[in-house]
Amino acid sequence: MTISLCFPTSTIWHRRQHEEELKLLEEETARRLEEAIRKNVEEKLVSEEVKLEIERRVAEGVKKLFDDVEAQLEKEKEDALTEARRKEVSILSGTSCFFPLFPFSFETKESQARYLSFSK
């Protein structure tokens, strides 16, 4: 013996119709809620208090940006001065890392004279 679960066709049809109505109601509710939120936001954006708050935040942001740029420029200036001092000390102490003016050193006066005679 086989047991079959048979639902009357009308019951299934009513259930599907009810599900469809619930889905439409849910979509309509979401649309109305979204519309109400949008209207509320638009009204608040138009208010003077919000405009002043936006202007204040923009001004703060611009000031912070300028302060950050000024601090960065000051840091770069200090770094450049430090590097220039380091190079100056290096040159004065004779431990320069720069290329010499001459391709060889003049150990004797003769080698210096030879170089000068070739350069004429």
Secondary structure (3-state) at 34: helix
CA triplet 26, 30, 35: central angle to 5 degrees? 150
For 99, which DSSP code?
P
| Residue 86: per-residue pLDDT | 87
Higher pLDDT: 80 or 115? It is 80
Per-residue pLDDT tens digits for 44-90:
878 888 889 989 999 999 999 999 999 999 999 999 999 988 888 77
| Residue 37: per-residue pLDDT | 95
Pairwise CA distance, residues 105 & 102, whole Å: 7
